[in-house]
Structure 1
Amino acid sequence: MSQARFVHIVDEVPELEGRSDGPVLVVALEGFLDAGNASRIAVAHLQGDPSGRVVASLEIDEFYDYRARRPPLTFLEDRYADYVAPRLVVRLLEDQLGAPYLLLSGPEPDFRWEGFARAVRAVVEHFGVRLVVSLGSVPMAVPHTRPVQLTNHANAQRLLVQDNVWKGEIRVPASAQALLEVRLGEWGHDAMGFVAHIPHYVAQFDYPGASAALVEGLEDVTGLQWDTEPLREAGEARQVELATQIADSDEVREVVHGLEQQYDAFHTASASLLAEDQPLPSGEELGEQFEQFLARLEDPEE
């Protein structure tokens, strides 16, 4: 193993040797950018079972706040057992055609973001990574009855593959993934990513339809291929559940209808944020009308 600060990297990985181009590195960290658990579900789908071989391991003790996110530990009658330690690792995986790629997953670092970025840079340069692609998701005022939208971003304009619905400038809370993209650009490495828009009223529940959209976006920019049918089927099942819940409430249907009009306005008259004479319900109205709806989703008997 070669060793840089905060990361241990396997020296020899025969699967990546003798190729005409370097591998892709997919980055999907748990925590901040994971509304609807979209990237977590995507990572589980990409890894499969068993998951791939670990080819780089970051020093989790340097990055993780154990008191803020306490790992699970089993107490068995009279003793502690089965401690599940957090891991921040790079795995070697293959797509469905056998092409190798790398996947960095685990908890977003709580500390030393700059050190984390330098550690990932060491991985990128060691394996000759040609492109880093990050996956994430955020809650947005969008309806579940429309296709999942993706925002793409990159540290070089030539890497962008679509026009984003959002036009303008906004200050957002930083993340380790976002900082990594910025730093890699400064170091001359291509990095981009996709952020899925999750209906904010179901952002705390699994939303596998967005996971399918993220994987399909990944396919578009890397040339790799995966079977997304299981994700699509899970997404359709979630849609059925939501439709059943919403059918019970005229108020919720009205709010969803307002979100649908906003969504459609983006696609039919992109110069305007909202359709004419169709104002979006306020945050207070949304909160009140979805409170009982969410409570029913959380009730196993419902």
Structure 2
Amino acid sequence: MDHVEFDREPPSNLTTLVIAFGGWIDAGRAATGALRHLAGDLRAARLARIDPEEFFVFTQERPEVRLRADGGRDIVWPRSEFFAWQPGDGRDGLLLFCGPEPHQRWQTYTKALLDVAERCGVRRIVSLGALLAGAPHTRPVRVTARCTDPAARSLLEAWGIYRRP
């Protein structure tokens, strides 16, 4: 895992990975905002991050300079972070991932992401996304879902949100 920096030893019972990428599939930052909100509500702790150096063109995804209270400055690079949540009662936990879409080396980036997932025992991946669409304020926002698991598909169909590929 050359491109991943762990904050601590990863648990092996994080069986569901929830992913949100910033960029094209994140209209209004709805997906990344929802994932960060979930991580905050669960008090999920950061587990690891993918080093951005080889995956981003920094003229497209610029680092930010933030001022500290003492007058100093910090550079904040694009973050691709994993968070872990464990319920503490023996049940399986969640692995959460949030970051911008990489600009280059997608295969290497994907391998790094999936290596972390495998190490944490992930068996199910849920991807969040949001697309721009014309929707008047007088109508409900459309929610759709797709899946490969027949049992989950039945549930999504019952909820009326399954969308056939």
TM interval, shorter chain, is 0.7 to 0.9
Match of 2:142 among 140, 149, 173: 149
In the other structure, the counterpart of 1:23 is: 15
1:59 aligns with 2:51: yes
Tell me the C-alpha RMSD between the 2 structures: 3.1
Partners of 1:75 and 1:11 in 2: CA distance: 28
In the other structure, the counterpart of 1:45 is: 37
Shift of the alpha carbon at 1:34? 1.2
Partners of 2:162 and 2:26 in 1: CA distance: 20
1:113 aligns with 2:67: no
Deviations 1:112-168 (A, max 9, x none): 1111111122112111101110101001132222222222123x2524323658667
Quick check: which one's strand share is greater?
2
Partners of 1:56 and 1:81 in 2: CA distance: 24
Relative to 1, partners in 2 of residues 1:165 and 1:12: Cα closer, same or farther, differing over 3 Å?
A: closer
Relative to 1, partners in 2 of residues 1:151 and 1:49: Cα closer, same or farther, differing over 3 Å?
A: closer
**1:7 alignment partner AA:** V
Partners of 1:13 and 1:157 in 2: CA distance: 26
In the other structure, the counterpart of 2:74 is: 82
1:7 aligns with 2:4: yes
TM-score, normalised with respect to structure 2 = 0.76
Partners of 1:145 and 1:123 in 2: CA distance: 43
CA contact (8 A) 1:35 1:139 kept: yes
Work out the percentage of aligned pairs sharing the same amino acid. Answer: 32
Gapped runs of 5+ residues in structure 2? none
**2:28 alignment partner AA:** G
> Using CA pairs below 8 Å that are at least 6 residues apart, which structure has the higher relative contact order?
2
Shift of the alpha carbon at 1:60? 0.9
CA contact (8 A) 1:9 1:123 kept: no
In the other structure, the counterpart of 1:132 is: 125
Largest Rg, 1 or 2:
1
Relative to 1, partners in 2 of residues 1:24 and 1:138: Cα closer, same or farther, differing over 3 Å?
A: same
Shift of the alpha carbon at 1:26? 0.5
Relative to 1, partners in 2 of residues 1:91 and 1:167: Cα closer, same or farther, differing over 3 Å?
A: closer
TM-score, normalised with respect to structure 1 = 0.45
SS, match of residue 146 in structure 2: strand
Match of 2:97 among 82, 95, 104: 104
SS, match of residue 55 in structure 1: strand
Relative to 1, partners in 2 of residues 1:66 and 1:138: Cα closer, same or farther, differing over 3 Å?
A: same
Aligned residue-pair number: 156
Deviations 1:140-199 (A, max 9, x none): 132222222222123x2524323658667xxxxxxxxxxxxxxxxxxxxxxxxxxxxxxx
Gapped runs of 5+ residues in structure 1? 169-302
CA contact (8 A) 2:80 2:99 kept: yes
Q: Name segments (4+ residues, structure 1) moved above 6 Å.
A: 165-168
In the other structure, the counterpart of 1:68 is: 60
